[in-house]
Structure 1
Amino acid sequence: MAVTKNEHGQTNSINQVRYGCAVGALYSVVSIPGAVPIGHCGPGCMDKQYTSLAFYNGFQGSGYSGGSVSPSVNAGEKEVVFGGEKRLDELIKSTLKIIEGDLFVVLNGCIGELVGDDVGAVVSKYQKQGVPIVYAETGGFKGNNFVGHEIITTAIIDQYVDKFTLNKDHREKGLINVWSELPYQNTFWRGDLSELKRILEGAGFRVNILFGGKSAGVEEWKTIPHAQFNLVVSPWLGLKTAKHLEQKYNQPYLHIPVLPIGAQQTAAFIRQVVEYAGIDPATAESFIEQEEKEYYYYLEHFNDFYAEYWWGLPATYAVVGDSTYNLALNKFLVNQLGLIPRRQIITDNTPEKYREAIAQEYQKLAHDVATTVDFVEDGYIVGKLLRETDFGHKPPIIFGTTWERDTAKALKGNIVEVGFPASYEVVLNKSYIGYRGALQLIEKIFTVAISASA
Structure 2
Amino acid sequence: METCKNTKFTSINQVRYGCALGAFHSVSAIPGAMPIAHCGPGCVDKQYMSLSFYNGFQGGGYSGGAVIPSSNLQENDVVFGGAKRLQELIEASLKILKADLFVVLNGCIGELVGDDTGAVVDSFQKQGIPIVNAETGGFKGNNFIGHEIVVKAIIEQFVDKYAQPHEQKQKGLINVWSELPFQNTFWRGDLAELKRVLEGAGFAVNILFGNTANGVEEWKSIPKAQFNLVVSPWLGLSIAQYLEEKYDQPYLHIPVLPIGADQTADFLHKVVDFAGIDKQKVDQFIVAEEKKYYYYLEHFTDFYAEYWWGLPSSYAVVGDSAYNLAINKFLVKQLGLIPAIQIITDNPPEKYRQAIIEEYKNLDTDVSTDVTFLEDGYEINTILEKVNYGHRPPIIFGTTWERDTSKKLGGSIVEVGFPASYEVVLDRTYIGYRGALSLLEKIFTTVISKSA
TM-score greater than 0.5 by the shorter chain: yes
User: Residue 92 of structure 2 aligns with which residue?
Assistant: 94
Give SS of 1:364's match: coil
**Partner of 2:392: helix, strand, or coil?**
coil
In structure 2, the residue matched to 1:114 is 112
What's the Cα RMSD here? 1.0
Q: In the alignment, what sits opposite 1:332?
A: 330
Partner SS for 1:157: helix
Once the two structures are superposed, residues 185-224 of structure 1 have per-residue CA deviations (whole angstroms, 9 ceiling, x without a partner) of 0000000000000000000000000000000000000000
Please list the CA deviations of residues 344-394 of structure 1 after superposition, one character each: whole Å capped at 9, or x if unmatched. 000001111100110010000001100000000000110011011100110
Cα distance in structure 2, aligned partners of 1:272 and 1:67: 38
* Alignment check: 8 A CA contact 1:321 1:400 kept: yes
Q: Which position in structure 2 is the counterpart of 1:388?
A: 386
- Alpha-carbon deviation of 1:168? 4.3
| Contact 1:4 1:12 (8 Å CA) reproduced | no
Instruction: Say which of 216, 219, 222 aligns to 1:218.
Output: 216
AA aligned to 1:182 is L
**CA positional deviation for 1:165:** 1.1
Match of 1:176 among 155, 166, 174: 174
1:392-403 superposed matches below 5 A? 392-403=390-401
SS at 1:134's partner residue?
Answer: strand
Output the CA distance in 1 between the equivalents of 2:366 and 2:175. 34
Q: Which of 269, 272, 285 is matched with 2:270 structurally? A: 272
The 3-state SS of whatever aligns with 1:254 is: strand
Deviation at 1:12, TM superposition (A): 2.4
Aligned partners of 2:47, 2:375: CA distance in 1, in Å? 18
Name the amino acid aligned to 1:405.
Answer: R
Aligned ranges 1:15-164 → 2 under 5 Å: 15-164=13-162
For 1:452, the equivalent position in structure 2 comes to 450
Correspondence for 1:405 among 397, 403, 406: 403
Amino acid at match of 2:89: L
Taking the aligned partners of 1:2 and 1:283, their CA distance within structure 2 comes to 63
Q: 1:401 to 1:2 in 2, by over 3 A?
A: farther
Deviation at 1:2, TM superposition (A): 6.7
Give 1:4 shift.
6.9
**1:351 equivalent in structure 2:** 349
Q: What is residue 362 of structure 1 aligned with on the other side?
A: 360
Work out which of the residue numbers 309, 314, 317 in structure 1 matches 2:315.
317
1: CA distance, partners of 2:281 / 2:271: 13
- Give the drift of 1:13: 1.4
Deviations 1:401-428 (A, max 9, x none): 0000001011111000000000000000
Identity %: 72
Q: Which contiguous aligned blocks of 4+ residues in structure 1 show a shift greater than 4 angstroms?
A: 1-5
Partner Cα distance (2:194, 2:102) in 1: 27
Q: 1:329 to 1:4 in 2, by over 3 A?
A: farther
Distance 2:95 2:35 in 1: 15
Confirm or deny that 1:191 pairs with 2:189.
yes
- Structure 1 residues 377 and 168: alpha-carbon distance in aligned structure 2, compared to 1, 3 A threshold: farther
Q: Given residue 28 of structure 2, which amino acid in structure 1 is its aligned partner?
A: V
Q: Of residues 278, 283, 286 in structure 2, which corresponds to 1:285?
A: 283
Q: CA deviation at 1:169?
A: 3.2
- The DSSP-based 3-state class of the residue aligned with 2:353 is helix
Determine the structure 2 residue equivalent to 1:201: 199
Match of 1:8 in 2: none
Counterpart CA distance in 1 for 2:350 and 2:210 is: 29
Aligned residues: 449
Confirm or deny: 8 A CA contact 1:38 1:70 kept in the other structure: yes
Alpha-carbon offset, residue 453 of structure 1: 1.8
| Structure 2 residue aligned with 1:240 | 238
Please list the CA deviations of residues 50-94 of structure 1 after superposition, one character each: whole Å capped at 9, or x if unmatched: 100110000000010111110000001011000000000000000
Under a length normalisation based on structure 1, what TM-score does the superposition of the two structures give?
Answer: 0.98
Instruction: Compute the TM-score of the two structures, normalised by the length of structure 2.
Output: 0.98
Selected match of 1:261 from 237, 259, 262 = 259
For residue 60 of structure 1, what is the amino acid of its counterpart? Q
Question: Deviation at 1:286?
Answer: 0.3
Per-residue CA deviation, residues 297-356 of structure 1 (Å, 9 max, x unaligned), is 000000000000000001000000000000000000000011000000000011111001
What secondary structure does 2:309 align onto? helix
Counterpart code for 1:16: Q
Matched-pair contact (CA < 8 Å) for 1:168–1:225: no
Query: Which residue in 1 is equivalent to 2:436?
Result: 438
Structure 1 residue 146 displacement after superposition:
0.0
Matched residue SS, 1:333 = helix
SS in 1 for 2:361: helix
Code of the aligned partner of 2:262? Q
Q: Aligned partners of 1:164, 1:198: CA distance in 2, in Å?
A: 27
Opposite residue 286 of structure 1, the aligned amino acid is Q
1:3 CA drift (Å): 8.1
Give the whole-Å Cα distance in 2 for the aligned partners of 1:251 and 1:384: 46
What per-residue deviation string (whole Å, max 9, x for no partner) do you get for residues 26-53 of structure 1?
A: 0000000000000000000000111001
Q: Is contact 1:402–1:422 with CA below 8 Å preserved after alignment?
A: yes
Deviation at 1:108, TM superposition (A): 0.3
CA deviation vs aligned residue, 1:84-131 (integer Å, no higher than 9, x gap): 000000000000000000000000000000000000000000000000
Letter in 2 for 1:315: S
Measured in 2, the distance between the counterparts of 1:388 and 1:178 equals 40
Code of the residue aligned with 1:256 in structure 2: it is I
